[in-house]
Structure 1
Amino acid sequence: MPPHRRPLRRTGCRTARQKRVRYGQSRPNDDCGERLPVTSEPLQDRSHAVDPPLGVTRVRQIAPSVGVLAVAFAVGCAFVALSGGNPFHAGAVLLYGAFGTSGNIAGVIAKSVPLILTGLSVAVAFRVGLFNIGGEGQLYAGALVSAALGATDLGLPSFIHLPAVLLAALAAGTVWGVIPGWLKARRGVHEVINTIMLNYIAIQTVDYLVSGPLNAGGYATRTHPIVPAATMPELWSVEPVPVSWGVVVALAACVATAWWLFNTAGGVEFRAVGLNPKASRAVGIADTRKMILGMGLAGGLAGLAGGLEVVGLHHTLYAQFSPGYGFDGIAVALLAQSHPVAIIPVAVLFGALRTADRWLQLVAGVPRDIVIIIQGVAVLGVGLQTALTRRAPAPHGPPVQPATAS
């Protein structure tokens, strides 16, 4: 008996449907009681359509984000003028504060590393259709575990101790991400609510441990310093902020994530769940597992960012050590349209703004909060652009008329 004529056992609606799809026996009403939408509109003829060149497509993808950034900076210039400052002078100060000296450039790179990883964390969750607000809590979870393990002298060589610390940070962030992912996939609890609550739990737990059981003593609320075997080596020795090899780790994470998402079967299934969960279930993709996996990967990336902050920059764990990298990662992912490689330049831009904002206030005499206004307008613009794009009707060609017998 040929495979496509093989009889099906009654092993449940979903199992039978998966087998029929596999053997090419799918039916019009194969969705366990859910009727597929039926439309009376004629099919559209797309044979006349010509795909634009790849370069034109890339420009069309980048143009909305560039336009949003231009509007955001224009609004920032308007607020500078309202504050009594010169927008051109303020812009020059921002450029100098970010790239004027080698120390400033090193500061931009150092601040870009956690932004890259937290932005990548949010982007991975976006790809599976979830909104990860918990990057800040996941970052704190990874930092806490890396500080505790990195400050312990285990007598291990650096090539074992340092990777173990980073893997522990990644695992801690993964656990902090799997919790809301499981609650969303299995219990239907919205991930935004879960991640917000877990943010508070992680931050307050770190504050308590840093000022109490893990405190190094003295007036500073910090843990014991990281042992040399767990310290990330320096890539660029410059004062006052040396650049560690953590930037290479962050870039490698972006490249690896992009390759996995767009060049593997698992990545295609992952993105399919985010685009249409019902269609994914219809072809047998386990969408609940993908949701849990997505939040776990997102949490692991944010936890890795916290670990790199401890072993590569601070070499200890301070209370409130993060100025909001987890929340800034949301803006980075939105402006990068959740593309892993596009996250890199956007994170560098946000790192430059964070590095130069103090120069804006000290030299130009303009409130540094204008940088926050620029970031907020950019996020608002991306949100509006996304909403308008979803509501815009798709282009249609001429309708295809049904064939008639001659």
Structure 2
Amino acid sequence: MKTEKAIYLELAGIAFAIVIALLCGFAVILATSAEPFTALSSLIVDPVSNLFNIGTILNKAVPLIFTGLSLAVVFQSGVFSMGAEGQLYAGGFLGALVAVNIHGLPAWIHFPLILVCAMAGGALFAGIAGWLKAYWNANEVVTTLMLNFVAILATSYFVNNVFKDPASGGYARMPYISPDLLLKKPIPGFPAHTGFVLALLAVVVVYLLLYKTKVGYELRLVGKNSRFADYGGIHTNRVIISSIMIGGALAGLAGIVEILGVHGTYKDNFSAGLGFDGIIIALLARNHPVGVLIAALFYAYIQVGAQTMQVGSDMPREVAVIIQVMLVLLVSSQAIFAFLKQKYATRQKAVK
């Protein structure tokens, strides 16, 4: 288990990576913009300048929290899954089918049923990669990436043909979901929907699962040393499959919450890479549930800042991509954290 000092060192490394990534973005703006200070203000200040932008940040953070949690769970088991995107589509698709095609149920029963089916869809689809990894030792990076295409293209076929709303014209989507089943926006003039409450609840549940249960202990132990876990009597194959399926269930929640909170229907290619963004969130959070919450909010803040910067200045929103890429490179690099640990150890020896 990590000591308190080790945790502080990791936090310092993450903060350092964020600062460097932001400075790289600022350098690009200063070098290319005719109005750099206006662009910087639009990027940094405008996202929190009014309730609409703040609500947009929260809405963008919600699916990122779910996909970040999904991948954090899987990564903690020592499996590097890339499949949250496909699992998100599979879960969102099944949840939307239940929302559109089941009638006569009261909303207080129908809504939880939608969420459960979305989780089941994501979990079962993820279980394919888990089974291949556990019993065939198939490389999970390859299988999950390939399965992403299976889920995205299969659901695209169904929503363009079998389940397409006849009234949608040339637009590929299912019929609109009943307003009673959609996530509400409880504060007038504030666009944030109640999916953020579900995301906060998911953070708490995943934290308790990972750090307060036997399942979480076994999962983290397998991630640290699978041979030792197997020697200690832990069924490592079962743990690998269960971790990937738990991650798939969370990714399925990301899909259905995005549908119920933003789109109001299942439409073709609705995700825009939310599952892949979850990889960045999990890496930035060092696979900790609370860190996922903070990282997702920060990531959504940068996304909204890029939009306001594009509208309010001469800089395109692609500057945010530079910041995101730098974050991935820096946070995924173990050199930063190794350097900080070495400096800390040298200082401790000097004190002694």
Q: Determine if the TM-score, normalized by the shorter chain, exceeds 0.5.
A: yes
Q: State the Cα distance separating 1:312 from its structure 2 match.
A: 2.1
Structure 2: 5+ residue runs without aligned partners?
none
User: Hey, what's the Cα distance between the residues in 1 that align with 2:297 and 2:332?
Assistant: 21
User: Hey, what's the Cα distance between the residues in 1 that align with 2:152 and 2:10?
Assistant: 37
**What is the match of residue 378 of structure 1?**
327
The amino acid of 2:199's aligned partner reads: A
**What is the match of residue 22 of structure 2?**
73
User: Structure 1's 117 and 233: CA in aligned 2 closer, same or farther, altered over 3 A?
Assistant: same
**Structure 2 residue 194 is the aligned partner of structure 1 residue 245:** yes
The amino acid of 1:223's aligned partner reads: M
User: Hey, what's the Cα distance between the residues in 2 that align with 1:97 and 1:116?
Assistant: 23
Question: Of 78, 87, 96, which residue of structure 2 is paired with 1:147?
Answer: 96
Q: State the Cα distance separating 1:153 from its structure 2 match.
A: 4.3
User: Hey, what's the Cα distance between the residues in 1 that align with 2:160 and 2:182?
Assistant: 22
Alpha-carbon displacement from aligned partner over 1:279-311 (angstroms, at most 9, x marks no partner): 101111111110000100011100011011112
Moved more, 60-69 or 206-215: 206-215
Question: Of 343, 347, 372, which residue of structure 1 is paired with 2:292?
Answer: 343
Higher relative contact order structure (alpha carbons within 8 Å, sequence separation ≥ 6):
2
- Please give the secondary structure, in 2, of the residue aligned with 1:331: helix
Q: State the Cα distance separating 1:130 from its structure 2 match.
A: 0.6
**What is the match of residue 113 of structure 1?**
62
Cα contact 1:152–1:227 (8 A) shared by 2: no
User: Hey, what's the Cα distance between the residues in 1 that align with 2:112 and 2:58?
Assistant: 22
Cα contact 2:330–2:336 (8 A) shared by 1: no
Q: State the Cα distance separating 1:183 from its structure 2 match.
A: 0.3
Alpha-carbon displacement from aligned partner over 1:62-112 (angstroms, at most 9, x marks no partner): 111110000001111111123234544322102344211111111111000
**What is the match of residue 235 of structure 1?**
186
Mapping of residues 3-402 of structure 1, within 5 Å:
54=4, 58-216=7-165, 217-238=168-189, 242-385=191-334, 389=338
User: Hey, what's the Cα distance between the residues in 2 that align with 1:332 and 1:226?
Assistant: 30
Structure 1: 5+ residue runs without aligned partners?
1-50, 399-406
Q: State the Cα distance separating 1:201 from its structure 2 match.
A: 1.1
Cα contact 1:106–1:238 (8 A) shared by 2: no
User: Hey, what's the Cα distance between the residues in 2 that align with 1:218 and 1:79?
Assistant: 43
- Please give the secondary structure, in 1, of the residue aligned with 2:101: coil
- Please give the secondary structure, in 1, of the residue aligned with 2:186: strand
User: Hey, what's the Cα distance between the residues in 2 that align with 1:286 and 1:263?
Assistant: 19
Cα contact 1:173–1:302 (8 A) shared by 2: yes
User: Hey, what's the Cα distance between the residues in 2 that align with 1:117 and 1:374?
Assistant: 22
User: Structure 1's 82 and 307: CA in aligned 2 closer, same or farther, altered over 3 A?
Assistant: same
Cα contact 1:146–1:310 (8 A) shared by 2: no
Q: State the Cα distance separating 1:226 from its structure 2 match.
A: 0.5
User: Hey, what's the Cα distance between the residues in 2 that align with 1:213 and 1:311?
Assistant: 21
Q: State the Cα distance separating 1:59 from its structure 2 match.
A: 3.1
Q: State the Cα distance separating 1:210 from its structure 2 match.
A: 2.1
User: Hey, what's the Cα distance between the residues in 2 that align with 1:317 and 1:97?
Assistant: 31
User: Hey, what's the Cα distance between the residues in 2 that align with 1:261 and 1:127?
Assistant: 9
* Paired residue total: 344
Cα RMSD, aligned residues only: 2.4
- Please give the secondary structure, in 2, of the residue aligned with 1:151: helix
Q: State the Cα distance separating 1:134 from its structure 2 match.
A: 0.8
The amino acid of 2:181's aligned partner reads: A
User: Structure 1's 387 and 103: CA in aligned 2 closer, same or farther, altered over 3 A?
Assistant: closer
Q: State the Cα distance separating 1:359 from its structure 2 match.
A: 1.8
Cα contact 1:162–1:232 (8 A) shared by 2: no
Percent identity between matched residues is 35
Q: State the Cα distance separating 1:319 from its structure 2 match.
A: 1.4
Cα contact 1:156–1:229 (8 A) shared by 2: no
Name the larger-Rg structure: 1
User: Hey, what's the Cα distance between the residues in 2 that align with 1:290 and 1:99?
Assistant: 42
The amino acid of 1:59's aligned partner reads: Y
Moved more, 298-307 or 95-104: 95-104
Tell me the TM-score normalized by structure 1.
0.80
Cα contact 1:175–1:296 (8 A) shared by 2: yes
Q: State the Cα distance separating 1:58 from its structure 2 match.
A: 4.6
- Structure showing the higher helix proportion among its residues: 2
User: Hey, what's the Cα distance between the residues in 2 that align with 1:237 and 1:140?
Assistant: 31
Cα contact 2:77–2:220 (8 A) shared by 1: yes
Q: State the Cα distance separating 1:388 from its structure 2 match.
A: 6.3
The amino acid of 1:253's aligned partner reads: A
Alpha-carbon displacement from aligned partner over 1:147-190 (angstroms, at most 9, x marks no partner): 21111242000110000001000000001211111100100001
